[in-house]
Structures are given as C-alpha cells and as structure tokens.
Amino acid sequence: MDVSVPVFVSRFPPRLHAEYPEMRRDCREYYEDGLQWLAAEISDLAHGFYVDCGAYYCAYTYPAGDLSSMKVLARFYSFWVMLDDVVDDSTDPRRVALLLDRLESAFGGERVAGYGAVADLLALAHRRGAKCRDLVRKRFLEWIAVTRRVREIEIEQEPVALEEYMSLRQTSAAMPLMHVFLVCTHPELAAGVEELAGREDFERAAFSSGRSIGIVLDLYDLAGTHAEKCEYVHAARIVQRSSPSMGMQEAVDACAALFSDYEEEMARSVYRVAVTHPEVARAMREVQAGSVAWLGAMRGRRYLPA
C-alpha cells in the first residue's frame, strides 16, 4: 500500500526509565518461561515484539515508576498484548468469547491456568488498597466489554460512523487503563489517582488520550507487520468507506489531523487536574508522551515501515 503515514510526536517530552535494562531482562525471562503456551497461539510471532510491548513500553510510559512494581506491570503487558493480538486476529466469535471470558474470570478473582499475570497485577494494586484494586478491576472489565463490541463489529462487518468508532476506540486503545495503572507504578500517587477517578477532568484527559493514541495505533497499523483483522474497526478505513471517492492517502491525512485535536483536549484537561494534583498531572503527561514515543520507536518492527 503506497500511503505515507506521518511520524507522530507528542507535545509532551518523553523519557526512558533508568532501570529499563533490568526491566527488559526480567520481562524476557518471564516471556521465555511463562508465555510460550500463548506464543503457540499467535500466527505471526516474529513481528509481535512482546518483550518490547512489556518492558520497553512500561519504561517509556512510567519513567519514574517503582522498579519492583514496573516488573509486575511489564510482565502483565506482555501477556495482555499477546492475548489481545490473538483476539484481534480472529473472526471466530466463539474463540473471541472464550479468550475474553477467561480474561474476565481472571479479573473477577478466579484462578485461570496461564493467567497468573492477572493475579499478580491485582495483588499489586491491592497493596495500594482495596479501592485501588477495585478501580483497576472495574476499568479492565470496561476494556473487555468494549473489546467484545469492537470484535463484533469486525466479525459482522458492520459499518459504523467514525464518531461511534472513536467512542469505542478511546477505551479499546487502553489509555484510560494506562493512566489508572499509575496506582500500581507510583505508590505515592495511588491516593490521588483513586480520588480523581470518576471526576470530569481526569476522565476527559484519559479518554482524550485514548482517542489520540487510537489514531496513532490505527495509522501505524495500516501496513503493520503483526497479524490482525481490522477492516471495519480502523479509523482511516471507516473514513474512506464513508466517502467512496476519497483515496486512502486523503483518509490517512484526515485522521492524522485528529491526533493534535485529541491531544490538545487532553492537555487542557490535564492542566485542570494539575490545579489540585500536580504530580498526578505530571505522570499523566508522561504516560501520553511515552506512549507516542514508544509507538514511533516500534515503526519498522511491530508497526509499519519507518
């Protein structure tokens, strides 16, 4: 596909966690010893870069996070992205339902074979308090529900308008979760995030972040190397389908312009969060900056050519 996709740059400056090499060593060990059962389910393992989806992503998004907590989260991210790739590469409704049902059961507190990363994450969140654990669980169950709907659209080849899709993508891109996971990575911020969750400015910031990263993910996935099926759940394809005379490059350009709008909305909301919780606001900016930087670093690897 001869389409040019810009390299997106956040307005917020990114930085990498100083202990990234140790995080990567730990995450690779976990991947090699604990996730091979899941690796066997992936159709294009070579282009998944699942250790990078764990350790490298965490190191970018939580550059000041507690190391022991970061290791737990990096392991979970590797597991989660692998499972999500299996779901995104399937148009078998029974298979999708089975995978997401198991994930939902694990987040509900059941012991599910192979899903130990979920139990470890919930235990970490619980160390910040039962309310923090419940917040993580609640937000992840919301992600599962939206992911079910997104796969239903793809499986049924159901046409949707861009705004309806983005209302789902703001959650399925997982950024509201990434901001809530600050309760895990930053013990000193847990009480503040717990207090802010549900408030308009925090929620608007988190979901605007989700929309902006959703755009980046979709456009970088346009010619991505890892396997997935997303003809009906992809921003540029939805835009092009709504205007048959529009070429794919025009659709890409129209979607790319939305990134700045969504990140601007996030910036305004985070500014208001900073009035009462400046350290939480700082960490939210780092989550956004690191997500954009990591996605750019993965061009030519997991995503489209650099």
Nearest to 237 by CA among 227, 226, 248: 248
For 267, what's the count of Cα atoms within 13 Å in the CB-facing half-sphere? 11
CA distance 9 to 216: 10
Has residue 304 got a pLDDT over 80?
A: no
Domain-located, residue 144: yes
- Give me the domain span that covers residue 222: 20-297
What's the alpha-carbon Rg for the chain, to the nearest Å? 18
Question: What is the distance between the alpha carbons of residues 234 and 244, in angstroms, rounded to a whole number?
Answer: 16
14 in any annotated domain:
no
237-245 contact pairs (CB < 8 A, 24+):
238/160, 238/161, 238/162, 238/165, 239/162, 241/159, 242/161, 242/162
Q: What is the CATH number of the domain that holds 145?
A: 1.10.600.10
In a domain, 277, yes or no: yes
- pLDDT band of residue 104 (cuts 50, 70, 90) is very high
User: Residue holding tokens 């590469």?
Assistant: 89
Whether the pTM exceeds 0.75: the reply is yes
Looking at every residue in the chain, the average pLDDT score rounds to 95
What DSSP character marks residue 52? I
Average pLDDT over residues 113-120: 96
Tell me how long the chain is. Answer: 306
Task: Confirm whether 24 is domain-assigned.
Answer: yes
Residue 226 has pLDDT above 80, yes or no: no
Residue 264 is predicted with a pLDDT of 98
Q: For 199-222, what is each residue's pLDDT tens digit?
A: 999 999 999 999 999 999 999 988
Give Dmax over CA atoms of the chain in angstroms: 55
Per-residue pLDDT of 269-293, as tens digits, reads 999 999 999 999 999 999 999 999 9
Provide the domain count of the chain: 1
Domain assignment present for 140 = yes
Q: What is the pLDDT averaged over residues 91-113? A: 95
Alpha-carbon torsion angle 174, 209, 258, 270, nearest 10: 170
Cβ atoms within 10 A of the Cβ of 256, count? 18
Residue 303 lies in a domain: no
In degrees, rounded to 5, the angle at the alpha carbon of residue 114 between the alpha carbons of residues 112 and 115 is 60
Q: Around Cβ 123, how many Cβ atoms within 10 Å?
A: 11
**Cβ atoms within 10 Å of 12's Cβ, excluding its own:** 19
Inside any domain, residue 159: yes
Helix axes 130-156, 116-126, angle to 10 degrees: 140
CA distance 201 to 182: 16
> Model confidence at 159, in pLDDT bands (50, 70, 90)?
very high
Q: Does a structural domain hold residue 8? A: no
